[in-house]
Amino acid sequence: MTSHAQLSSVPEAAPEQAPVLAMHNIRHAYGHHLAVEDVGLEVRQGEVVCLLGPSGCGKTTLLRIVAGLEVLQQGRVDLNGVPIGRPGKAHVPPEKRNVGLAFQDSALFPHLSVLQNVTFGLEALPVRERRRRALELLEQLGMGRYAETYPHMLSGGQQQRVALARALAPAPRLMLLDEPFSSLDARLRDRIRDDTLHVLKKVGAGALLVTHDPEEAMFMADRIALMRDGHIVQMGTPRELYCAPVDPFVVTFFGEVNELEGVVRRGRVDTPVGEVLAPALAEGSRARVMIRPEALRVVALDETPADHHSHVIMAKLLGRTSLLHICAHGAGGREDHLHARVPGVFLPEEGQPITVRLDPSQVFVFPADPGATAGP
Ligand code: ATP
């Protein structure tokens, strides 16, 4: 929790255009265990950046370094253009960094009402202004009518909203959020995420949010830093990561994919569902073709063709989409079992003959052999 009286602890001499957070060349180890290495990233004012990645990849460590809960070992951290941490230099303590913290287990003060919890960090403001600001935030997060309630009378989701309001109340320029929605059930999580996003955008704070859920990252983030084993693998907009992944890990992290192998001939790889361009791969090399289920366009045929044809093995309705298990027939009698995801209700019978076409924007080709050259 940060108070207005403490804002001056971080010098105000920041250049106008400086990002609210800049991390350079961060390395952090716990004993002999290297948790984070060579990480650099920026968060600009009003921008939501998500640290995304599997468990143990170093997301929380980065957040804790920014918050001042871990002492910086190597690299540099600037808030609003001013260094708050350099190895060997004085360490600005957490409560003097003017950052808002919202963690999964953000505990409220049990003996204070909701309103008192939110006004707690605002001693520097006149009482009336404190109250106005707290009520405004509670209102924005749908908690206005609980102002006089005590934390034990609230559900987990409601407590989470209050914790968020409390973190936002001192108007930090940077919010740090560590899996703040993960303890909530799916429907509540969607609503609180949505409210949080709108409040962050309204107050114009920069935000660094940790999550392991790719959909949450895409929902919340202006930019995503996808991490693996302590490194950032790719940093970009959700669209860049989803539509222009730099390696197979990035492709698979965003959902199920069909994987096929083939050999590059004249800059292309032949698959049972059509040719795929592989201009950056060496002629004759083996290619790993990754096809998102939604890239397969399935058309049912009225008649069974005389030759080998692709057909449906099974079809399941998943709600907004239907999932088709298909057997795709290729040259030389090759058969591949693929999953196709099509919008709405499309449930052809088992054995239904089909043709399958590819949407090339959802197909990615990488070298099958490590060390070879990748291509789009
Ligand atoms: P999760 O999503 O599970 O929270 P994460 O991506 O946030 O994971 P970190 O919590 O940053 O990952 O942990 C990175 C690595 O450092 C992990 O291997 C973890 O076991 C290790 N680690 C984290 N904190 C400590 C600690 N205090 N002492 C020793 N090792 C630690």
Residue 6: band (very low, low, confident or very high) from pLDDT cuts 50, 70, 90: very low
pLDDT of the residue at 158: 87
**Using CA positions, which residue lies closest to atom 26 of ligand 1?**
30
Which atom of ligand 1 lies closest to the CA of 60? 7
Of all residues in the chain, what percent carry a pLDDT higher than 90?
A: 60
Average pLDDT score, the chain: 88
**Using CA positions, which residue lies closest to atom 11 of ligand 1?**
58
> Which residues fall within 8 angstroms of residue 186, CB to CB, at 6 or more apart?
none
107-to-5, 57, 110, 151, 180 alpha-carbon distances in Å: 23, 25, 8, 9, 12
Task: Indicate if the pLDDT at residue 305 is higher than 80.
Answer: no
Ligand 1-lining residues (CB < 6 angstroms): 30, 33, 35, 53, 55-61, 212
Which of 23, 28, 30 maximizes ligand 1 atoms within 8 Å of its Cβ, making it the mutation to test the pocket? 30
Cα 14 from Cα 85, distance rounded (Å): 15
Which atom of ligand 1 lies closest to the CA of 64? 11
351-to-68, 179, 258, 271, 310 alpha-carbon distances in Å: 61, 45, 20, 21, 9
Task: Indicate if the pLDDT at residue 331 is higher than 80.
Answer: no
How do residues 28-45 score in pLDDT, each as one tens digit? 999 999 999 999 999 999
**Out of 76-80, 187-191, 297-301, which region has the weakest mean confidence (pLDDT)?**
187-191
Mean pLDDT of the region 46-62: 96
Residue 149: band (very low, low, confident or very high) from pLDDT cuts 50, 70, 90: very high
CB 124 within 8 A of CB 4: yes
**Using CA positions, which residue lies closest to atom 31 of ligand 1?**
30
Mean pLDDT of the region 177-188: 82
Cα of 241 to ligand 1 centre, how many Å? 24
How do residues 211-251 score in pLDDT, each as one tens digit? 999 999 999 999 999 999 999 999 999 999 999 999 999 99
Mean pLDDT of the region 326-355: 90
pLDDT of the residue at 326: 95
pLDDT of the residue at 89: 67
Which of 61, 63, 183 maximizes ligand 1 atoms within 8 Å of its Cβ, making it the mutation to test the pocket? 61
- Residue 235 CA to its chain's centroid (Å): 11
pLDDT of the residue at 187: 78
Residue 201: both structure tokens together: 């955008």
Cα 284 from Cα 269, distance rounded (Å): 10
pLDDT of the residue at 308: 67
Which atom of ligand 1 lies closest to the CA of 61? 11
Is 28 strand, coil or helix?
strand
CB 340 within 8 A of CB 357: no
Which of 26, 32, 33 maximizes ligand 1 atoms within 8 Å of its Cβ, making it the mutation to test the pocket? 33
How do residues 253-291 score in pLDDT, each as one tens digit? 999 999 999 999 999 999 888 899 998 899 999 999 999
Task: Indicate if the pLDDT at residue 2 is higher than 90.
Answer: no
Which atom of ligand 1 lies closest to the CA of 227? 6
* Side-by-side strand order, sheet with 74-79: 33-43, 21-30, 74-79, 82-85
* Side-by-side strand order, sheet with 274-277: 274-277, 268-271, 258-265, 286-291, 363-367
Task: Indicate if the pLDDT at residue 341 is higher than 80.
Answer: yes
Cα of 337 to ligand 1 centre, how many Å? 38
According to DSSP, the residues that pair with 366 across neighbouring strands are 288
